[in-house]
Amino acid sequence: MTDRIPSLRGSRDGPVLHATVPRPRLSADNLLEVRRTRWSEDLLIVSAAGEIDLATAGRLEHALRGDPPAITVLDLSEVTFLGVAGLRVIESAAARAHAEHRTVGVVASTRPVLRLLHLFGIDVHIPVYRHLANALHEVPDVSPRP
């Protein structure tokens, strides 16, 4: 069924009703922007802006793959929505980093993202920072152990 809204113009029979046209959903490319910045030889910053859900989580996962350095900081300060698919990508990246004696830190400042990280206990085993500057200063360097 199509929603109808009354028109401001009327007729003898009452207001003229027009069908609303549904807006197309934005593509995954428009919902999430992901950038990789090699800050130094040992530090990679992966920044995400937009929505991380089932449709876009693969883009984040792709950005976190490859040959990462000793430290990766995932900047989610411009993320407006974080779904369970995004949480799985973050947890997977952290588990991979831990197994390879690397470090992952997360920057999050929006309430929906911080709340989800806390509800699922991500903030217990992955350091979460409110500002990128704090993460860059505080993320411990985990050098490969002999």
Within-domain flag for 90: yes
Cα separation, 44 vs 68, whole angstroms: 7
Within-domain flag for 10: no
The count of domains in the chain is 1
Within-domain flag for 52: yes
Within-domain flag for 58: yes
Q: Residue 46: which CATH number?
A: 3.30.750.24
Q: What is the pLDDT along the chain (146 residues), one digit of tens a residue?
A: 444 444 455 555 555 555 555 555 555 567 899 999 998 889 999 999 999 999 999 999 999 988 889 999 999 999 999 999 999 999 999 999 999 999 999 999 999 999 999 999 988 989 999 999 999 888 765 444 33
Within-domain flag for 118: yes
First-to-last C-alpha distance (Å) of the chain: 66
Within-domain flag for 145: no
What is the domain range of residue 40? 28-138
- Do residues 131 and 100 lie in contact, with contact meaning Cβ atoms separated by under 8 Å? no
Within-domain flag for 2: no
CA angle 64, 67, 71 (to 5 degrees): 70
Q: Is 5 helix (H, G, I), strand (E, B) or coil?
A: strand
